Structure 1
Amino acid sequence: MDTRTKEAIRYLGYGRHAVDDETLRLIRSSFQELDQAADFRIIYRIFDLNRKENESLEIGTMKVTSKSLNRNLKGCEQIVLLGGTLGTGTDLLLRRYTLTDMAKVVVLQACAAAMLEEELDIWQEARKEEWKEEGWYLRPRFSPGYGDFSICHQSEILRMLDASKSIGLTLTDAGMLTPTKSVTALIGRSRTDAACHRQGCEACEKADCQYRR
């Protein structure tokens, strides 16, 4: 079983429970359709990181107070600010099945989330190797909503990236990213190759979450 299938199963909330054959069939067919519908796009910019008092960080024009983000960025001098999306085709695919097959929609949602993470991991691994030659080392991605890093910073990140114009990524009045299968994140850049294993679930303090790794 490949990694993205395992991640889709996790997003479906199966935990340690066995997955039935019908669900596995839906997962396989969902990934096949997403491979055709999705159009992964990413935009990023690099900013200097300035540390202020009381665990506050200054990244370009954005000011953040977050203990968990501070821990993640310990020893970093720069920040890679990014936005990534699977595009509107994925949303259209989800809407089409909403009218006919809600079970398929649930599986598609999980598969799209797994696909987005996979694409981001591939992109980050390529940058890791590229920038290592320049003497830079990367920390794990850290998104608004992890730990005490407020989700309210989404709009400022999008503005700093000009994400609407560059990749069509915007925020609704309700504070939701659109296209829906999208993400914003920060990645620390350091001159020191320090081990840091806190990412995703590992960085989140909600230990009782059913989707936790």
Structure 2
Amino acid sequence: MFNIDVKLTKEDESEVLRYLQHNGKDIDENLHSQVLECMEKVNAVAKPNFVFREWDLEEKGKFPKELDFFVGNSIKKHIKDCHKLILLAATIGIGVDNAIRKEELKNVANALIMDSCGSTLIEAVCDSIEASFREQYLKENNYLTFRFSPGYGDLPITIQKQFVDVVNATRRIGVNVSDSGIMLPRKSVTAIIGVSDQKLETLKKTCAGCNLLKSCRYRKIGVRCYA
């Protein structure tokens, strides 16, 4: 388990609004103050930490038997030039879930904003972890893919339980997966990152590669779930 000191700041406001489907509209002073207040409430209870495991691949781009639950063409293409894998699980803790539930009893609008704050924070945590990995591996002349999570492309979200088990995330950072496949705490993320000894093409997430393309709530209002 690794603790990581990442907090929401004023600079994260636009991202929180994006999760709220605010869609670039002007923000009045009341909403601005409300968002900042909710950020502080989430910061006060969040406990970001993560766990990871690394695998050296015997053959580039080929998953070992222990990881044969990584199925589909998207993930195979993602790691095809990689000789090592990083499996990551991160969370901001159950305290955020509890705080949102309590807020729902007092102020539903605040609870919705806090939920968006939690989503923004866990992504910021993952960005920070990924940046640290990139810096570390670059010193060894290795290059990383972007992080690839279950549910993207044709990698099924149903592998979450196997993913969590293989990195021992339940014991080490308290991340569980419900029978319906929901991660608990809810603001938790699993992701795989490939490591290559050659410079990789600049690959980015796209709407076209996502298995939620037809039902995406972001596309319906003209925004994206990625930067």
TM over 0.5: yes
How far apart are the structure 1 equivalents of 2:29 and 2:203? Answer: 33
Residues 97 and 57 of structure 1: is their aligned pair in 2 closer, same or farther, counting only changes over 3 Å?
Answer: farther
Give, as a single letter, the amino acid of the residue that structure 2 aligns with 1:62.
L
SS in 2 for 1:83: strand
Matched residue, 1:10: 18
Matched residue, 2:205: 199
Give the CA deviation at 1:172: 1.2
2:73 pairs with 1:38: no
How far apart are the structure 1 equivalents of 2:199 and 2:190? Answer: 24
Q: Is the 8 A contact 1:137 1:192 kept in 2?
A: yes
How far apart are the structure 2 equivalents of 1:50 and 1:13? Answer: 44
SS in 1 for 2:51: strand
Residues 50 and 171 of structure 1: is their aligned pair in 2 closer, same or farther, counting only changes over 3 Å?
Answer: farther
Residues 78 and 105 of structure 1: is their aligned pair in 2 closer, same or farther, counting only changes over 3 Å?
Answer: same
Structure 1 outlier segments of 4+, above 6 Å: none
Give 1:93's match in structure 2, choosing from 99, 102, 109: 99
Name the TM-score, length of structure 2 as normaliser. 0.83
Give the CA deviation at 1:16: 3.4
Give the CA deviation at 1:22: 2.8
The number of residues matched between the two structures is: 210
Give the CA deviation at 1:178: 0.6
How far apart are the structure 2 equivalents of 1:2 and 1:50? Answer: 45
How far apart are the structure 1 equivalents of 2:55 and 2:189? Answer: 18
2:212 pairs with 1:187: no
How far apart are the structure 1 equivalents of 2:208 and 2:121? Answer: 19
How far apart are the structure 1 equivalents of 2:198 and 2:105? Answer: 52
Question: CA offsets per residue over residues 157-182 of structure 1, 9 Å max, x none?
Answer: 11101111100111112211111110
Give the CA deviation at 1:10: 1.1
Higher percent of residues as strand: 1
The range that moved more, 192-201 or 159-168, is 192-201
Give 2:81's match in structure 1, choosing from 42, 64, 75: 75
Give the share of equivalent positions with the same residue, in percent: 27
Q: Is the 8 A contact 1:42 1:82 kept in 2?
A: yes
Structure 1 unmatched ranges of 5 or more? none
Structure 2 unmatched ranges of 5 or more? 1-8
